[in-house]
Amino acid sequence: MSIKGKLAANKGIMDGIKEAGEKVHAEGAKEYSSPAESNSFESILKKQSKPELIRATYYLRQDQIDSITEYSELSGKRKNEFLRDLLDAAFAELKKSQG
């Protein structure tokens, strides 16, 4: 199947991953700014902060690496960002199914 065919076939999944990533990023942004502190120096520093990213190593199969590479390219995201969004989407689904 061509890359365009794969993208069309997986559009719903890719959209879900993108939405989950955007939701988590938006929730993180809320955590770092507060209207009550909008003019304070501390507030400005918080608004510029992003959640800390921690380097971690995980062992994956070659087929998983190939899929990560392929779908990150299709989404136009770097692999790290794509994986974070993918994990956010998976965790959001797990939370929905549990409660």
| Count of residues in the chain | 99
Per-residue pLDDT of the chain (99 residues), as tens digits, is: 665 566 566 666 667 776 766 776 666 555 444 444 455 555 555 555 678 899 999 999 999 999 999 999 999 999 999 999 999 999 999 999 987
pLDDT of residue 99: 75
Residues 6 or more apart in contact with residue 23 via CB below 8 angstroms: 88, 92
DSSP run (H or E) holding 2: none
pTM of the model: 0.56
Give the start-to-end residue ranges of the domains of the chain: 3-98
Q: Report which residue type is found at 13.
A: I
pLDDT of residue 34: 46
